[in-house]
Structure 1
């Protein structure tokens, strides 16, 4: 018998969102780990909020929604709210009921920016890695480090010359004299001079984004700065590549399963990678007496960097330069050096995931602190995307 195609609204609806999600869905394991990690941060959340006033969006829901936006490559908060309005999977993951109203995109953005700072993003990543099911997957001795460029949300046309402050006048010299004016005496028969008024330029006829030719113009970070994002720097990693306004993201990866254990973002310069590597090692293993190894590419083959690692009781498994290498034979003769060189190449996978899926090829945020917090949260989401398969294996 053929069924009827008639739509009739129900007066009552009993929908259990948990029953609608398949038992083998990868987000089930991700949600379990995220909920346990956020439960361990309850005391941290309590410090950030007061006991009076209107209740804001729960911090746990803000973080779950932000992770969803990264995992599913949602470009804006407005699209995220539209998805949560009709997507039952998103409602279930965030913790909204079937009848709960979604948030206004601007309200969600303001609450998220107030919560997800660099410090909070690092605490979320650390809580996920400290989960009882995730911690056995990590290596506590062998690590790799690398950096990548994150394009800033600023165009090259915003890279303008820096405006120098006006010189200060001495107090004894007094104020500068006013401009001289020509007056016509009243007893003369000559009429006053007529001044020709220049017509105002027609701004409506000018193009909105005029073409600019930068050929032959010398620009550098010392003389120019972006008016859109002053924290962005003009930089290039390869000699034949074009310089762009960007930041430099850094990650510290453990070599057992390739999970990111530390993330940072700095100004783009030639020494940022080595400085960030030392800071991430200190944050991850403060005062550690265990002998660690650190794999890296040729960009880290510097005498100062190798000496700093040896003072920290860290063996520098750094790729050697062709000439004038700071890595000697006492390091390269061990089999662990060749193993670290093979494992360190896996650090490019989180970078590729963050740029293709996580939207970090070009950030949509401005300011060093906001971009750093977003980069750290993206690396935490990259770990979450790999955990269901790793835990199943």
Structure 2
């Protein structure tokens, strides 16, 4: 028969425990085992005043932010509502049922102040990396790097063409925060100094973002999220925010490799990346540091007319010359110069030429230089490093590396699809950096929770 109507009956006393109402297999139980924020208060002690009204516990704010980024809750206003309602979120944030959830404005106040001044989010991310190393998830032998475009909180309607934008007319005292950060980043290698080429449009609300059409579709304003990962378990060992151009992304790779070396003493034996990182200077930088570049060479020497390319010529390092398929020599100089200024040029390139008489009489001239009197080949400054990368590309280890490179792409897919970071909510270089650091921290914590889940307690009858 139909049971009685369910009605809430008020009680005088309640016995309630959050610990009993959070499932044993909940993700936050596994994550909580790897979140040690006991040193946060001491880390931020110098950034708080010794007088005045007591502030919100910074550990509480960090735990709430971790909940938001682990579960794709991008809005801080909505995050406060979810923590207020969700028992598991309250348990993770160390809030009892009667405890008040901080107001959403508290996050902005701390983020633009002491959190950025102390680089707390960078410190938090490095704490998770150190925990991954401690748990044996990072060997540091094989690393992969890549960048992904993240749409900025800007649109074309509120932008100016490059010929109308003049940063010198902006008064920083009256400019918005994102504009002041843009002015401060004009000399940084990851932003203003990355390239002399000015973007076609500049956003008024977030001028540091890059106008780009790299997705082969409608152009938009974006930042690049750069990941350096250890390929053993796909742990993110460093993250950097840059402009969405190749020069800035390649420069971020050097910054991240130097940073993990200084911070965690990680010296990778190989670096895995795509063709965008296969430029001569980048390959030379890696070879000089004894890092094997498992990277396709960025090479524009190939010809489309069917004639011989530079790869068809043999390099004779001992005699500083090229040998053509017909056995003829291409030399840079055919006599010694007493004046050193007449030697190799300072542009980083050297040109090797064959004799005109030799080429004119050669039966393979039509395959080599049909439109020139003699064949010439340009050798780049870092050609030796490029050759090292070409030799590596013929090995079995290179094939394995190309498969491992997909791990960093999978992390970006997880970042956008699961964590919901397809578009930035914060503006300016600092805002982009904050979001990327928190998202990478959440991904590493979820990785730890997946590999080392919390032990399940037997249910009581």
By how many angstroms is 1:338 displaced?
2.3
Q: Which moved more, 1:132-141 or 1:273-282?
A: 132-141
Indicate the SS of the match to 1:131. Answer: helix
| Offset of residue 333 of structure 1 | 4.2
8 Å CA contact retained: 1:149, 1:249: yes
- 1:31-85: CA deviation from partner (whole Å, max 9, x where unpaired): 1211x2x224443122332322212111111111011111222231111111122
Residue 228 of structure 2 is matched in structure 1 by: 252
Helix, strand or coil: the match of 1:249?
A: strand
CA contact (8 A) 2:140 2:268 kept: no
Counterpart-to-counterpart distance in 2, 1:68 and 1:46 = 24
Tell me the distance in 2 between the aligned counterparts of 1:351 and 1:274.
Answer: 18
Q: Which of 398, 402, 405 lines up with 1:337 in the alignment?
A: 398
Q: 1:164 to 1:69 in 2, by over 3 A?
A: closer
Q: Distance in 2 between matches of 1:160 and 1:377?
A: 31
* Aligned residues of 2:149 and 2:222 also touching (Cα < 8 A): yes
Show the 5 A alignment for 1:215-226: 221=198, 224-226=201-203
Q: Quickly say closer, same or farther: Cα 1:339–1:318, change in 2 above 3 A.
A: same
- Measured in 1, the distance between the counterparts of 2:125 and 2:46 equals 19
Equivalent residue runs for 1:122-161 within 5 Å: 122-131=122-131, 135-161=135-161
Please tell me the root mean square deviation across aligned C-alpha atoms, in Å. Answer: 2.6
SS, match of residue 160 in structure 2: strand
Preserved CA contact (<8 Å) 2:142 2:268: no
Q: Could you tell me how far 1:11 is from its partner in structure 2? A: 2.5
Check whether the contact 1:128–1:134 (CA below 8 A) recurs between aligned residues.
no
**CA–CA distance in 2 between the matches of 1:89 and 1:310?**
49
Q: Does 2:58 match 1:59?
A: yes
Structure 1 gaps, min length 5: 168-219
* Whole-angstrom CA distance in 2 between matches of 1:133 and 1:224: 43
| TM-aligned CA deviation for residue 337 of structure 1 | 2.3
Cα distance change, pair 332–226 in 1 and its aligned pair in 2 (3 A): same
The match for 2:274 among 281, 297, 305 is 297
Residues 80, 282 of structure 1: CA spacing in aligned structure 2 closer, same or farther, 3 A cutoff?
same
Q: CA deviation at 1:381?
A: 0.5
Superposition deviation, residue 368 in structure 1: 0.7
Aligned residue in 1 for 2:370: none
For the pair 1:16 / 2:77, whether they are aligned, the reply is no
- Aligned partner of 1:381 in structure 2 is 442
Query: Quick one: distance in 2 between partners of 1:103 and 1:165?
Result: 38
Contact 2:153 2:427 in 1 (8 A): yes
Bigger drift between 108-117 and 10-19 goes to 108-117
Distance 1:266 1:321 in 2: 21
Q: Aligned partners of 1:335 and 1:166: how far apart in 2? A: 54
Deviations 1:114-139 (A, max 9, x none): 35439322211111122278540112
What's the TM-score once normalised by structure 1's chain length? 0.79
Q: Aligned partners of 2:275, 2:201: CA distance in 1, in Å?
A: 30
C-alpha contact (below 8 Å) 1:75/1:359 kept by paired residues: yes
Map of 2:421 onto structure 1: 360
The offset of 1:99, in angstroms, is 0.4
CA offsets 1:133-180 (integer angstroms, 9 cap, x no match): 85401121110000011111011111214355899xxxxxxxxxxxxx
The aligned residue for residue 82 of structure 1 is 81
Q: How does 1:232-311 map to 2 (within 5 A)?
A: 232-238=209-215, 240-286=216-262, 290=267, 292-311=269-288
1:390 aligns with 2:389: no
Give the corresponding residue for 2:100. 101
Tell me the TM-score normalised to structure 2 length: 0.68
Comparing 284-293 with 333-342, which one deviates more in the overlay?
A: 284-293
Distance 1:102 1:372, change over 3 A: same
> How far has the Cα of 1:388 moved from its partner?
1.9
C-alpha distance in 1, partners of 2:299/2:284?
19
Per-residue CA deviations over 1:332-389 (Å, capped at 9, x if unaligned) read 3443322222111110111112212323211011111111111111011011122222
* Corresponding residue for residue 314 of structure 1: 291
The alpha carbon displacement at 1:289 in A equals 8.6
CA contact (8 A) 2:222 2:244 kept: yes
Match for residue 204 of structure 2 among 227, 234, 240: 227
Q: Give the whole-Å Cα distance in 2 for the aligned partners of 1:290 and 1:134.
A: 16
